[in-house]
A and B are shown apart, each in its own frame.
Chain A
Amino acid sequence: MAGGKEVKSKIKSVENTQKITKAMEMVAASKMRKAQERVEASRPYAQKIRRTIGHLAQANPDFKHPFMVEREAKRVGMIIVSTDRGLCGGLNINLFRKVLAELREWDKKNVPVEIVVVGRKAASFFRRIKDIKAEVTDLGDRPHLEDLIGTIKVMLDDYREGNIDRLFLMGNEFVNTMTQRPDIQQLLPVPEDEDEELPDHWDYIYEPEPPELLESILVRYVEAQVYQGVVENVACEMAARMVAMKSASDNAGDIIDDLQLEYNKQRQAAITQELSEIVAGAAAVS
Chain B
Amino acid sequence: MKLHVDLVSAEGQIYSGSATMVVVAAEEGDVGIAPRHAPLLTRMRPGQVRIQQEGEEELQFFVSGGILEVQPHLVTVMADTAERAADIDEAAAEKAKQRAEENLAQADDRVDVSRAQAELAEAAARLTMVKKLRAGR
Pick the contact of B38 from A45, A198, A205, A217 — CB < 8 Å? A205
- Give the segment of B5-13, B86-94, B113-121, B125-133 that binds chain A: B5-13
Residues of A within 8 A of B40 (CB): 204-205, 207
Chain A 62-74 interface 0/1 with B at a Cβ cutoff of 8 Å (1 = within): 0000000000000
Give CA–CA (A216, B6) in the complex, Å.
20
Q: A42-B10, A224-B10 are in contact. Are A52 and B67 (CB under 8 A)?
A: yes
Q: A41-B12, A207-B28, A208-B27 are in contact. Are A48 and B41 (CB under 8 A)?
A: no
Give CA–CA (A52, B8) in the complex, Å.
13
Closest partner residue, chain A, to B13 (CB atom): A44
Give CA–CA (A62, B10) in the complex, Å.
30
Residues of A within 8 A of B43 (CB): 207-208, 213, 216
Chain A 34-65 interface 0/1 with B at a Cβ cutoff of 8 Å (1 = within): 00000011101100110110011001000000
* Chain A CB within 8 A of B30 CB: no
* Chain B CB within 8 A of A274 CB: no
Report whether B27 and A49 are in contact in the complex, using a CB–CB cutoff of 8 Å.
Answer: no
Residues of B within 8 A of A220 (CB): 67, 78
B65 to chain A, nearest CB (A): 10
Give CA–CA (A51, B71) in the complex, Å.
11
Give CA–CA (A195, B108) in the complex, Å.
50
* Chain A CB within 8 A of B42 CB: yes
* Chain B CB within 8 A of A125 CB: no
Report whether B8 and A204 are in contact in the complex, using a CB–CB cutoff of 8 Å.
Answer: no
Give CA–CA (A204, B41) in the complex, Å.
6
Closest partner residue, chain A, to B16 (CB atom): A44
* Chain B CB within 8 A of A145 CB: yes
Pick the contact of B41 from A40, A41, A205 — CB < 8 Å? A205
Give CA–CA (A51, B10) in the complex, Å.
15
Report whether B42 and A207 are in contact in the complex, using a CB–CB cutoff of 8 Å.
Answer: yes
Closest partner residue, chain A, to B69 (CB atom): A52
* Chain A CB within 8 A of B19 CB: no
* Chain A CB within 8 A of B39 CB: yes
* Chain B CB within 8 A of A138 CB: no
Report whether B11 and A41 are in contact in the complex, using a CB–CB cutoff of 8 Å.
Answer: yes
Pick the contact of A203 from B28, B39, B69 — CB < 8 Å? B39
Chain A 117-155 interface 0/1 with B at a Cβ cutoff of 8 Å (1 = within): 000000000000000000000000000010000000000
B35 to chain A, nearest CB (A): 16
Report whether B69 and A55 are in contact in the complex, using a CB–CB cutoff of 8 Å.
Answer: yes
A64 to chain B, nearest CB (A): 14
Residues of A within 8 A of B22 (CB): none
A14 to chain B, nearest CB (A): 44
Name the interface residues of B63-79: CB closer than 8 Å to any CB of A: 67, 69, 71, 76, 78
Extra inter-chain contacts (18) besides given A45-B8, A208-B42, CB under 8 Å: A40-B12, A41-B11, A44-B6, A45-B9, A45-B12, A48-B6, A48-B76, A52-B67, A55-B39, A55-B69, A198-B71, A204-B39, A205-B38, A207-B27, A217-B67, A220-B78, A224-B10, A227-B10
